[in-house]
Structure 1
Amino acid sequence: MLEFLGVLVVAIIVFTVAGLKIVPQSRNFVITRLGAYRRTLEAGVNIIIPFVDRVHSDISIADRVLKDVDLNVISADNAVFDIKLLVVYRINKPELAVFRVNSVDDLIVGLVMSLVRSEIGKVELDTIQQDRASLNRAIKEALTEAGEDYGVIISRSEIIDVRLSDSTERSMAEVLNAERERRATVTKAEGDKKAVELNADAELYEERRRAEALEVMASATAEANRKIAEAVGEDGAAALRYQIAKLQVDALTKLSQSENAKLIMLPGDASNGFVSAASILADAQQRQ
């Protein structure tokens, strides 16, 4: 009886130990029962039925890196070149990765080759060079959608290098030089156009100011003529003759004070201005 109890205790212990499965961090155990998939054990202590359930696969769910994936591709503008990619992925459904595909790495490489060529074939080489971030996002989305059927999540997909052939580089250099010349021509034309517009505005402003000045002078002259006419109408002929004589005197004075005046030609009645002015003043004093 005691021997039977001892054997029973030992059997229970062995059965219990055999049924305990400790799964390490960042790993999953795929369990099968009698050859069929049963469940997936996550990190920690798990219990299975010994001798019926067994660990079919020990799968790492940490990120995996596929680097130096070299591809020869053709862009939408028929440029042929080589690219190098970096792909980071992880398995989030181990049962799919185990039972639906033989090698996850080969699957990812195949998907990368197919989908990357497809996405690059939609864009031109200049776009790949200038807006690589958008292309990386498109590739990642395409890979993520394809990887879901196999329990794989694409964490990152990035083009890390683009290698062009010598002929393609020469062609791109010619295109860039032509583009620079075109931009320089356009910039110069725009500058010339702006200069013409500014000159036209300046001339228009100058003519407008001249017209305003003439208008002011005309108004002043008209006002002076009006006042003179009023004065003449009030028997101001003497004052009018005095102003004319004074203008003659002032003109002769300025002419004689000029530094360049060596010989001055005067009209015959130029000196009459002085006499007229003096006689007008004398008549005015006598009237007073």
Structure 2
Amino acid sequence: MNIEELFNQLLGGNIVLLVLAALIIIALFKAVRIVPQSEKYVVERFGRLRTVLGPGINVIVPFLDRVRHKVSVLERQLPIHSQDAITSDNVLVQVETSVFYRILEPEKTVYRIRDVDGAISTTVAGIVRSGIGEMELDEVQSNRQQLIAKIKHQVADAVDDWGIEVTRAEILDVNLDNATREAMLQQLNAERARRAQVTEAEGTKRSVELNADAELYAAEQKAKARRISADAEAYATEVVAQAIKEHGIESAQYQVALKQVEAMMEIGKGTGKQTILMPSNIVDAFGDAFKMLKGRA
């Protein structure tokens, strides 16, 4: 064997080894799949579903298994969709909706539905029309949260077979046509005017009630004062009668004369220049008082 034949044999053996090494490297490269946290891989074998790879390092059979679909599991938002609907009281409204969802089971999503966004949009449109058709316009405006909850629940049930979870559904706006908006504005102004009139009437009524209560209170106080004065007069009369009974008529006359003297002394205490009119019998009153006081002494 010459050197040329030996070299050819070594070269042929090295080529085989190189080919085998390349095949092993390619096989390892195809067998190992690193899946990101935000994705899932759908693996097929001979055109049929084999498995779903989760995040991390995964091993598949090279040349037999193939990653057919790479599906993101991040939450997605459908484009804002505007649609017409008619309420139960025959008012045409335009509703803007938005839906958020994420894929939980990609094997269902890729094999059961072609256009996920379009299918969800169509489902939401039908549910919104049905829900608004059962409500009056005032209910649509005031019970928006109830309508949103209903939409989310029904959409979640509808897309469950597609391996999708509806995370949030929103009604962004409910618009009315110009004619309906003007009619509602007139109704709102009329309601405000009615409330203002009611408030004014209630204020007038309250004022009348308060005035009546004040007059009644004043009358009660006057009656109370008269009653107190009458009681005082009755008590004084009773005292005089008791004095007459116990000491005779002279004691009563003495008390009356004494009161007259005290009253005149109070009048005389006034300051400044003043004119005092005194009854003609004031001197007699003083005299009677001194006589009685002397007699009692």
Q: TM-score, normalised by structure 2?
A: 0.78
Q: 162, 166, 169: which one pairs with 2:181?
A: 169
Q: Does 1:283 align with 2:295?
A: no
Tell me by how many angstroms 1:71 deviates: 0.5
Tell me by how many angstroms 1:275 deviates: 4.9
Does the residue aligned with 1:234 lie in a helix, a strand or coil? helix
Change (3 A) 1:238 1:45: same
Question: Following superposition of structure 1 onto structure 2, how do residues 213-232 of structure 1 map, counting pairs within 5 Å?
Answer: 213-232=225-244
Q: 56, 64, 71: which one pairs with 1:52?
A: 64
Shifted more, 124-133 versus 52-61: the winner is 124-133
2:293 & 2:23 partners in 1: Cα distance?
157
Question: Following superposition of structure 1 onto structure 2, how do residues 177-196 of structure 1 map, counting pairs within 5 Å?
Answer: 177-196=189-208
1:54 & 1:282 partners in 2: Cα distance?
141
Residue aligning to 2:280: 271
Tell me by how many angstroms 1:168 deviates: 0.9
Change (3 A) 1:286 1:108: closer
Tell me by how many angstroms 1:86 deviates: 2.1
1:91 & 1:206 partners in 2: Cα distance?
80
Q: Which runs of 5+ in 1 are unaligned?
A: 258-263
Q: Does 1:118 align with 2:130?
A: yes
For residues 39-80 of structure 1, the C-alpha deviation after alignment (integer angstroms, 9 at most, x for no partner) is 211222211122332222221222222223111111232210
1:247 & 1:285 partners in 2: Cα distance?
13
Does structure 1 conserve the Cα–Cα contact (< 8 Å) formed by 2:74 and 2:102? yes
Shifted more, 195-204 versus 153-162: the winner is 195-204
Does structure 1 conserve the Cα–Cα contact (< 8 Å) formed by 2:257 and 2:288? no
Q: TM-score, normalised by structure 1?
A: 0.80
Residue aligning to 1:23: 35
* Aligned-pair Cα RMSD in Å: 3.2
Does structure 2 conserve the Cα–Cα contact (< 8 Å) formed by 1:112 and 1:143? yes
Tell me by how many angstroms 1:212 deviates: 2.8
Q: Which runs of 5+ in 2 are unaligned?
A: 1-11, 271-276
1:159 & 1:13 partners in 2: Cα distance?
54
Tell me by how many angstroms 1:106 deviates: 0.9
Does structure 2 conserve the Cα–Cα contact (< 8 Å) formed by 1:245 and 1:276? no
Tell me by how many angstroms 1:175 deviates: 1.6
For residues 207-238 of structure 1, the C-alpha deviation after alignment (integer angstroms, 9 at most, x for no partner) is 33333323322222222111100222234434
1:203 & 1:151 partners in 2: Cα distance?
79
Does the residue aligned with 1:67 lie in a helix, a strand or coil? coil
Q: In structure 1, what residue type is equivalent to 2:28?
A: T
